[in-house]
Amino acid sequence: MAAAGRRQGGARPASYADGVQEQPARRPPPALPRAAALYSSGRIALFVLLALLVNLVTGLNGLPLLLAAVLGSGVLGLFLLSRQRGDLSAALVARREGRVARDADLRRRLAEDESA
């Protein structure tokens, strides 16, 4: 009996026939304020949670606690916030590309006005 969701006969989709896999559809970049807010709040929440955890487990206070929380949240944030960091980066790139396109369009229209 074949498992649910498996194809019988080992047939592969046509896109895999050449050994070339289809690229997954890209998501549109999120709005910059939303992406920045999500990433920043994730960083802050990770820092606060780690500071509370370190305080409860080790009893550290003051500067050693803050140092441990900053270092730990920095390392954990590399892994736990990678998607939010990618979204923020995509939003910044999309914003930059939009500005470059608008600037090029403005320059083109100004050049047309001067030549006319």
Tens digit of each residue's pLDDT (9 = 90 or more) over 7-41? 555 555 555 555 556 666 677 777 889 999 999 99
Would residue 15 count as lying in a domain?
no
Higher pLDDT, 7 or 52: 52
Q: What is the rounded CA–CA span in Å between residue 84 and residue 97?
A: 20
% of the chain with per-residue pLDDT over 70:
77
With 60 as the cut, is the pLDDT of residue 72 above it?
Answer: yes
Residue 78: the pLDDT is 94
- Determine if residue 27 is left, alpha or beta; phi over 0 gives left, psi from -120 to 50 gives alpha, anything else beta: beta
pTM: 0.66
Residue that the structure tokens 């896999």 belong to: 21
Residue 106 forms part of a structural domain: yes
- Alpha carbon of 75 to those of 43, 50, 71, 80: distances in Å? 11, 11, 6, 9
Q: Tell me whether residue 9 is in a domain.
A: no
Domain contains 16 = no
Write the pLDDT tens digit of every residue in 84-109: 999 999 999 999 999 999 999 999 99
Q: What is the pLDDT of residue 23?
A: 64
Instruction: Answer yes or no: is 11 within a domain.
Output: no
- Report if residue 36 sits inside a domain: yes
Residue 35 lies in a domain: yes
Overall number of domains in the chain: 1
Separation of alpha carbons 19 and 23, rounded Å: 13
Burial class of 24 by CB neighbour count within 10 A (0 to 12, 13 to 18, 19+) = exposed
81 falls within a domain: yes
Q: For residue 49, give its domain range.
A: 29-115
